Structure 1
């Protein structure tokens, strides 16, 4: 632990502390599904058990992994909540993991690009206006109004995609035929909604009415959204995230193979021939060769080249590659664990420091939820800054009125109140 950090804790400077005391290494594994099965299966069988042992035996930590590609409950799919669930899980990994919290595996698939489940009200109304202003798109405008409902409880207000079963109740039917018919109908509607929103977003961008970020939300994949949250907009990424890139050198020559579409994004021509999905490929290229390298240092990015087989990428035909991938994954993760865990505040041999730290984190927890009470804080500030006042100050009130939170806030504000002096704050919570 850095001496300066140690001293800050002793002096009651809680700003840089984590919100919780965690004893887990929790890693979110981001990838597209069908093309990385071999790697993810191998991690589960071979690497993760070793990491569990390493964390437990060396640091007393619990290793956990989160792979959302193994399925999300039907209720979440009906409410279009899959993306939100994944992004919330990333936040949990970032919050609780004491070391690595995000790893991405990428190859030639860009992944699913779903219709937005929620659109900021001002943006939706702007796009809806563009669509409704075209007489040829009246049906599309009506479709958007039918499927998106304004939610004023959101801040800011948003238009939320209604649950599929509200307008297509048979999608939950126990009758298999009815369910399939409803599912086909939703696929058509969903494609139409997505297309008209993208067209409106493109026109709005050309007119300079929306930002590139707002535009991207209608086009980028779930995987890229995960990467945006896990790497591109995250902190300490070079200490806590990794990227593994796999290139199948000859896959473009085998698009007609039965398994090729599971490993690369393709469309089909009018005569049924598979062709590269150019838009998806361009977005994937930008992600792999520009967006990620702009944020993540080269030491955190591993690249591999493999050859295609009629059975795709599998653990038998690509055993050498899988073994190398497993080795790199394990070694890099334990390096990050070693680096982070040794500096982590929870691993403290000094009992006094450990105890002080508990109170400091408790203080930060109270302050995070604190709002208002400026009148009480003003009185405390006047008392503390009065050079002629030597009497102790007591804050009293009915049980549950927020006395502890006020004192925690005052403890952190005292450093600002005496910004021109060297001040130490002794924190102690009782009860």
Structure 2
């Protein structure tokens, strides 16, 4: 069976849409791909979570990038679907930094009177790498109880320490990178690397750096009107919130990605926009937004099917595809020629008959 793997990226603010696709759309797509083309339909959703070890080793982003590459390599049709809302998303600190670059950041920060002790503590230089690279150390190598599930209280304490530490290093990196960019020592891409979210990094690898988006990529953009900022707990699921206020920096970075670079790259036929209203305490709910959800999953299904069919037409017209088709036709003919009824073949019936002849071995 040929492999068809479709990767999709969804931010945490799209739980309602993900659940609806899981319940109502994926089973139909799986049946369609198998029955129409003999393909295996697979969904890879990075927001289903990663193992604790990946978090400990800061490998989450790298795993996401690797999965995109796998899907691009294995998929015959669509291999990347992005759904962007109004949340730019998680912005981790880098796992690997060129040692020369880290030294520039340290020097710049120290010149401004900043304490760089955290960077020295958490990043260790690998002199064997070419060029030399500084690596963010596993969390549990310093905070021993970060993964200690046997003592939840100690684990919670170390996890709280880590997230506080990460935010502090995040601020150091951004301040240093911005200063070096302003002085002309960093170019824009180098500076932006310290501000970028996992969302943007995935869209870059899944769409912006892809040559043929027409046959492989889809994008969905959803705007929510009148989000209730009085309910920060709910609003923070759909917006970037910092210090109990909207994170304007993240909003600008998202707008540049969602409203400029993405539409400029992907075909208009592969991009769909939705605008919905914030309703009640939950904001979004399957019952109050049923019409939107129905249109979304219908559009999603039709577009995935369109890209799968297009890929198969191209495959069937190739020399290799024609050979495979002929082989499958012969197998199908052989299967029909030996089939007597749904449960027994001619051979099975002959064996059964011979067992009943005089002198045959008893069953």
1:171 is matched with which residue: 139, 146, 158?
Answer: 146
TM-score normalized by the length of structure 2 = 0.85
1:187 is matched with which residue: 160, 163, 172?
Answer: 163
Q: Is 1:266–2:236 an aligned residue pair? A: no
Q: Distance in 2 between matches of 1:189 and 1:70?
A: 25
- Aligned-residue RMSD, C-alpha: 1.9
How far apart are 1:208 and its partner, in Å? 1.4
Would you say the 8 A contact 2:58–2:95 is kept in 1?
yes
Q: Is 1:213–2:184 an aligned residue pair? A: no
Name 2:248's counterpart in structure 1. 278
SS of alignment partner, residue 274 of structure 2: strand
Q: Is 1:255–2:229 an aligned residue pair? A: yes
Q: Distance in 1 between matches of 2:143 and 2:56?
A: 10
Would you say the 8 A contact 1:111–1:223 is kept in 2?
yes
* Most deviating of 105-114 and 150-159: 150-159
Q: RCO (CA 8 Å, sep 6+): is it higher in 1 or 2?
A: 1
Name 1:327's counterpart in structure 2. 298
Q: Distance in 1 between matches of 2:312 and 2:289?
A: 34
1:55 is matched with which residue: 21, 33, 37?
Answer: 33
How far apart are 1:32 and its partner, in Å? 1.2
Q: Is 1:27–2:6 an aligned residue pair? A: yes
Q: Distance in 2 between matches of 1:161 and 1:261?
A: 28
Would you say the 8 A contact 1:341–1:347 is kept in 2?
no
- How does 1:7-406 map onto structure 2 within 5 Å? 23-33=2-12, 35-134=13-112, 136-137=113-114, 139=115, 141-173=116-148, 174-251=150-227, 254-257=228-231, 258-268=233-243, 274-309=244-279, 310-344=281-315, 345=318, 348-350=321-323
Count of aligned positions = 322
Q: Distance in 1 between matches of 2:218 and 2:326?
A: 32
Q: Distance in 2 between matches of 1:191 and 1:349?
A: 56
Q: Distance in 1 between matches of 2:179 and 2:207?
A: 30
Distance 1:97 1:155, change over 3 A: farther
SS of alignment partner, residue 9 of structure 2: strand
Q: Distance in 1 between matches of 2:306 and 2:96?
A: 39
Would you say the 8 A contact 2:52–2:147 is kept in 1?
no
String of CA shifts for 1:366-401, please: whole Å, max 9, x gaps: xxxxxxxxxxxxxxxxxxxxxxxxxxxxxxxxxxxx
- Which runs of no fewer than 5 residues in structure 2 stay unpaired? 328-363
How far apart are 1:132 and its partner, in Å? 2.9
Would you say the 8 A contact 1:263–1:312 is kept in 2?
no
* Most deviating of 309-318 and 220-229: 309-318
Q: Distance in 2 between matches of 1:108 and 1:230?
A: 19
String of CA shifts for 1:322-370, please: whole Å, max 9, x gaps: 000001101111111111121125862246999xxxxxxxxxxxxxxxx
How far apart are 1:156 and its partner, in Å? 3.4
Would you say the 8 A contact 1:150–1:158 is kept in 2?
yes
SS of alignment partner, residue 349 of structure 1: helix
How far apart are 1:209 and its partner, in Å? 1.4
How far apart are 1:87 and its partner, in Å? 0.7
Would you say the 8 A contact 1:115–1:194 is kept in 2?
yes
Q: Distance in 1 between matches of 2:67 and 2:36?
A: 26
Q: Distance in 2 between matches of 1:132 and 1:285?
A: 33
How far apart are 1:153 and its partner, in Å? 4.4
Name 1:14's counterpart in structure 2. none
- Which runs of no fewer than 5 residues in structure 1 stay unpaired? 1-21, 269-273, 355-431
